[in-house]
Amino acid sequence: MSLAIETARRARNITTPNPAIGCVIVVDEKVASTAHTMPAGDLHAEAQALLKTDRDVMGGTAYVTLEPCCHHGKTPPCTEAIISAGIKRVVIAQRDPNPLVAGKGVAALQAAGIEVEEGLLANEAAQVNAGFLKRMKSGLPKVTIKAAMSMDGRTAMASGESKWITGTSARQDVQQLRARSCAIMTGIETVLADDPSMTVRLSASELGQDGFVVRQPWRVILDTNMRTPANAKIIGEDSRSIIFHADSSGEKSALESSGANCVIVDTDSGSIDLKSVLAQLAEREINEVLVEAGATLTAALVKERLVDEIVLYIAPKLMGSKARPLFDLSTIAIMDDAIQLEFIGFTQIGDDLKIRAIPKY
Ligand SMILES: NC(=O)c1ccc[n+]([C@@H]2O[C@H](COP(=O)([O-])OP(=O)(O)OC[C@H]3O[C@@H](n4cnc5c(N)ncnc54)[C@H](OP(=O)(O)O)[C@@H]3O)[C@@H](O)[C@H]2O)c1
């Protein structure tokens, strides 16, 4: 199962909106085949593993990181492929919460006389597809805030200048985060201050996905009053930008003709409803959202308890107390109101530190 999970990890950039699954087929205690899910519309891990091997797998065991599918989607059910190959035992790390599967895959295998074992390395397997699993269970994508800050916790100078806080190695690492994400989200003030492209600029081989196309994530802008310039780089030319706004007048037609998808969203609470935005992204089969925004939007997401993970790149420099903070959480006044986090990883990248944390709401 460890090998299956490691194999699944290699597919994380290429399978969305499908989960990245790994499959290892063992015959006579030897690995006969390993495979991961191919890009959406192509073979799933189990079918790919069966196709890849010319060994007779009759009587073998398949280790799969997620319950095999049992429905006809863009590809035939994996349960049918497993049954017709004569596999006798299937070990799955976890069930698939997708209502189309959710135990029906296990039932189909058992009905065909296959022994099914569940739960092996379930937590490790779940981490590979945290976004997909969250979307299936809650109707919301996984939200990760990424920010670069100085050692004194500053993310931009008072003027808005923020290039560059961290070094090239850390910025290359951000490219890996982008490549894994289905959407990059930002606020209008970052668009106006930086005119960012928010695209993946590494090649397939630099991303470790040789042979597969580099997929560009959606680019999402929260812009209540449609202040995004029609020539903003983030709009791009690939019709993969979405502007959530509350105003049907102004620059909308210019923005739409420049290729942006403009979506009106609820502002009953006084600002764009962030949960509604995320739910709409989940409806578009977006599993993982990477937020690259300033202190205003990141704080709003934290306050609404919509953040699953925070990835910080910390540069060994001091930007001074007039510079802007990481989160605009100025309403926290007493220690009891502090938002508790848990560190889940740290590493040095070039001259900078990368720290990952999850909020303990
Ligand atoms: N160091 C880093 O990692 C990093 C990353 C990104 C940006 N930055 C820097 O951050 C600075 C901009 O930060 P910022 O805090 O001013 O802007 P921001 O967080 O990027 O954008 C905030 C704006 O988004 C809009 N918005 C729409 N719906 C919202 C909602 N529900 N909650 C919150 N905001 C919502 C609001 O404008 P409307 O009301 O007009 O819609 C709001 O003023 C720039 O200088 C940029 O360089 C740094």
Structure-derived torsion over alpha carbons of residues 123, 125, 129, 135, reported in degrees to the nearest 10: -50
Residue 297 Cα to ligand 1 middle (Å): 5
Q: What is the CATH number of domain 2-128?
A: 3.40.140.10
What whole-number distance in Å separates Cα of residue 237 and Cα of residue 256? 11
Q: Which residue has the tokens 């209008």?
A: 188
Q: What is the pLDDT of residue 251?
A: 64
Q: Which atom of ligand 1 is nearest to the CA of 293?
A: 6
Task: Give me the sheet containing 142-150, strands edge to edge.
Answer: 261-264, 241-245, 218-222, 183-187, 288-291, 142-150, 309-315, 352-359, 341-349
pLDDT along the chain (361 residues), means of 10: 97 95 96 95 93 91 96 86 95 95 94 96 97 97 98 95 95 96 98 96 94 96 94 93 86 83 88 96 98 97 97 98 95 94 97 97 84
Cβ 150 under 6 angstroms from ligand 1:
no
Q: Are the beta carbons of 27 and 89 closer than 8 angstroms?
A: no
Q: If you measure from the C-alpha of residue 147 to the centroid of ligand 1, how many angstroms do you get, rounded to a whole number? A: 12
What's the confidence (pLDDT) of residue 270? 82
Q: How far is CA 175 from the centre of its chain?
A: 13
Taking the CB of residue 296, how many other CB atoms lie within 10 A of it? 16
Do 2-128 and 139-359 share a fold? no
Find out whether the beta carbon of 160 lies less than 6 Å from any atom of ligand 1: yes
Domain boundaries, the chain: 2-128, 139-359
The catalytic residue positions are 46
pLDDT at residue number 361: 84
**pLDDT tens-digit series, residues 305-333:** 999 999 999 999 999 999 999 999 999 99
Tell me what pLDDT residue 250 has.
61
**In 3-state terms, what secondary structure has residue 227?**
coil
Residue 275's alpha-carbon distances to 171, 312, 313, in angstroms, are 29, 23, 26
pLDDT of residue 170: 98
294: Cβ below 6 Å to ligand 1?
Answer: yes
Ligand 1 atom index nearest CA of 299: 33
pLDDT digits (tens, 9 = 90+) for 266-309: 888 889 999 999 999 999 999 999 999 999 999 999 999 999 99
Task: Dihedral sign for Cα 258, 263, 264, 266, please.
Answer: negative
Instruction: Give, for ligand 1, the residue of 163, 166, 189 to mutate: max count of ligand atoms closer than 8 Å to Cβ.
Output: 189
**Nearest residue CA, atom 39 of ligand 1?**
224
pLDDT of residue 264: 93
Residue 249: the pLDDT is 73
295 CA distance to ligand 1 middle (Å)? 6
CATH architecture of 139-359: 3-Layer(aba) Sandwich (3.40)
